[in-house]
Chains A and B, each alone.
Chain A
């Protein structure tokens, strides 16, 4: 077991638009080879007050790209005099990803709300393509969700329906993908602002062949996965 293997986020990330905003969701597992380096990571990072980013692929590459884009957007917001649009954020991500496509290995989903277009989701996968979609999935766990979304996705959902869909989808992916796990984090962005939610493993529904957790050490510990401190 190689603890010096590059940190990769074998992940499940999802972004979904609903009537009035977007819901972003992700699992929380960061793996180094077969070892879980961080079981409570936060893969949904803030770019601006109204735009968030779901990261997958190499942890280092995605962190550096998001740091650069956050910096550029901060300058852009000052120069523009109003909040940046989701389209601009997504395109900045795309410019970095495409120009450095040989060096980077990161799949990103940009989601947010602005006053011109409302809630929007943009997917920027490995090569640096940009795709505006009503919903986007990414990461290793997304392979198990294509069929699910084909069936379960509806246009014009409410906020609660969208969040339930995201949580259900991430928990299904966690059940089948070894590289996804931990807790589910969601971020809801709309005209009223941003809401972060946290779903520890024991609140999630059980799927086929999954057992009720019982007598596990986790029940004895005072808290579940602690929230990481933010810098």
Chain B
């Protein structure tokens, strides 16, 4: 009994079943179960008062739409939200984990969470798993130091940009942003541009579809516009 619990408590990934999986796959007719993948369009941009994040709402399992109205803009803190593309389970788990860590940190320090805190926690976690946690994130928020927008890739690399798109529909959405983005957009223009970008992803990418979610974060106020 003691030996078994030691093996479970080690933490990290357990690759014991890989050989069994390989053997099963080599036998014809055996199909491994697929996972929910969000073939997605997620975007973020900085406008004059803060950050606007946008996402589509389709979750796919191979060619089938598994969930027509899923939430891809995850709550991290009252002033920080995170869009996630890649494997749905991974994005949900990682953002939920960091969101709890941020809440504990808020309680310990008594201060509003900063975007760089979430940024560093996510980056360190994803780098440690060397890309196996397939979560591609657009993290945005407004804190005491101002508005911040970051993109985080599964291998742990990051970029800090005024506008960003990710997911399978990112090329279509980036095309919209590159032609229409200006520094210091107003709230309405910003929301319109984000919608345009997500719609470009929805219409031109098979992995994205259904509705558009928009989240507007400004100093002191966050508007989560579900199914805008």
Contact = CB atoms under 8 A, between A and B. Distances in A.
Interface stretch (A72-80, A188-196, A220-228): A220-228
Interface size range of chain B in the complex: 20 to 34
Contact of A38 (B123, B148, B159, B171): B159
A6 interface: yes
A35 interface: yes
Contacts of A37: 151, 153, 159
Contacts of A1: 171
Interface string A200-231: 00000000000000000100011100101111
Interface stretch (A59-67, A112-120, A136-144, A166-174): A59-67
Contact of A64 (B116, B156, B183): B156
Given A4-B134, A4-B154, A63-B156, 9 more contacts: A3-B168, A6-B154, A35-B171, A38-B151, A60-B156, A60-B157, A226-B161, A226-B162, A229-B148
Choose among B119, B155, B162 the residue with the greatest number of A CB atoms under 10 Å from its CB.
B155
A32 interface: yes
Nearest to A62: B157
Nearest to A59: B157
A230 B160 contact: yes
B158 interface: yes
Contacts of A85: none
Given A3-B170, A222-B182, A231 B148 contact: yes
A3 B119 contact: no
A26 to B, nearest CB: 15
Given A4-B136, A35-B171, A63-B157, A229 B131 contact: no
Majority secondary structure, B binding face: mixed
30 contacts: A1-B171, A3-B166, A3-B170, A4-B134, A4-B136, A6-B131, A7-B153, A30-B157, A30-B159, A35-B171, A38-B159, A40-B161, A41-B159, A59-B153, A59-B155, A59-B157, A63-B158, A64-B127, A217-B178, A221-B182, A222-B182, A222-B183, A226-B161, A228-B159, A228-B162, A229-B161, A229-B162, A231-B116, A231-B119, A231-B148
Interface in B149-188: 149, 151, 153-162, 166-168, 170-171, 178-179, 182-183
A6 B119 contact: no
Contacts, number: 70
Q: Which 5 A-B pairs have the closest CB atoms?
A: A59-B157, A60-B157, A60-B156, A60-B155, A7-B157
A58 interface: yes
A226 B185 CA distance: 14
A228 B160 contact: yes
B45 to A, nearest CB: 11
Interface string A25-41: 00000101001011011
Contacts of A60: 127, 153, 155-157
Contacts of A223: 183
A3 B136 contact: yes
Contacts of B50: none
A228 B178 CA distance: 15
A63 B166 CA distance: 20
